[in-house]
Homo-oligomer: A and B are copies of this chain.
Amino acid sequence: MKEFDLIRNYFTEQIVKRKDVFLGIGDDCALLTPPERQYLAVTTDTLVAGVHFPENTPAKAVGHKAVAVNLSDLAAMGAEPCWISVALTIPEADEDWVGEFCQGMFELCEYYNVQLVGGDTTQGPLSITITAQGTVPYDKQITRSGAKTGDWLYVTGEIGDAALALQHYYQQIELPEDVLALVQKQLDYPVPCVLVGQALRGYASSAIDLSDGLLADLRHLCESSNVGVNLVLDQLPISNALYDSLGAEKAIELALQGGDDYQLLFTVSEDNKVGMETALADIGETITCIGQLNLSGKITTTLNSQPTQINAKGFEHFDSDQ
């Protein structure tokens, strides 16, 4: 088939040309020159049509999201994104689709100065695997395992809107057009917290990105750090759209369970609170304190200052995340 030659052309139409790329797409390997005295941060995520995004998702959104979910993992380590490799499996060589997919991918790459350095295109059921690489100076990395008892738990932005859009898609709820437009954008075009992640270097004691849902990812963080936490549910940053659509209780449940937020969940010691808030002030990202870590090893919750049971589990993809 000659179609793949045409498709491959789209992969070379990127604007970003980084100086640390000695050889880009077109040989057996790319050749890169990573900076000295920095860790290379590497992450791989796959999106499968019908599992990680609805089948009818526009190609541009698929391209955006495939990059975004990987940059989100880099952000959670405090890394600066540099390069991505893309493995695109598509049922047929649909040039229009691939063109729009690349547009979504490249717009996000240009914004963060990320260069595509490798691409493999194969025929099969639609799925996209991206490996993203970034750099973080030695000893400035943020891991899941550094949280300490007494640290404060924060989350960026608002959570639950993407899950609300999915509920509409699965016809569990019918949203008015204006609300749907708002939340659909969160589902299709998540914005990775790249700058926040880097700003948190030296301040956050731990971080994780929210892909599987607040509760599930919080559990990963607590297990890695060997801590517990009491979540103050009243404080969860829930959008007006979500509140008004479901009412308080169900909105909180969805914010806890829903996936696809791609916000950062992070912890900060009492001593670093002011420094962290100062560092984030220029970026303009909203952050919300939603709890404090403790020795219990468990996740407990309070609502209106009363202990509350959670019988909801975080939404689990069939997905090992990283």
Within 8 A of B (CB), among A14-55: 22-23, 25-34, 36, 39-52
A148 within 8 A of B: no
Residue of B nearest to A20 (CB): B40
A7 to B123, CA, bound (A): 26
A255 to B115, CA, bound (A): 37
Across the interface, do A320 and B144 meet the contact criterion of CB distance under 8 Å?
Answer: no
A110 within 8 A of B: no
A151 to B311, CA, bound (A): 71
A26 to B29, CA, bound (A): 26
Across the interface, do B40 and A33 meet the contact criterion of CB distance under 8 Å?
Answer: yes
A11 within 8 A of B: yes
Q: Report the stretch among A69-77, A170-178, A183-191, A289-297 that lies at the interface.
A: A69-77
Q: How many A residues touch the partner, as a band?
A: 35 or more
Given A40-B34, A44-B131, A131-B131, A122 and B319 contact (CB-CB distance below 8 Å): yes
CB neighbours (8 Å) of A120 from chain B are 44-46, 129, 319-322
A149 within 8 A of B: no
Instruction: Find A8's partner among B5, B317, B320 (CB 8 Å cutoff).
Output: B320
Residue of B nearest to A92 (CB): B318
Instruction: Find A32's partner among B39, B52, B143, B319 (CB 8 Å cutoff).
Output: B39
16 contacts between A and B (CB under 8 A): A8-B320, A23-B141, A28-B74, A28-B144, A28-B209, A29-B41, A29-B73, A30-B42, A31-B77, A31-B141, A42-B83, A44-B85, A45-B87, A46-B120, A87-B129, A120-B322
User: Can you name 8 extra interface pairs (CB under 8 A) apart from A27-B143, A48-B89, A49-B124?
Assistant: A7-B320, A22-B39, A28-B43, A28-B207, A29-B41, A31-B141, A46-B120, A121-B318
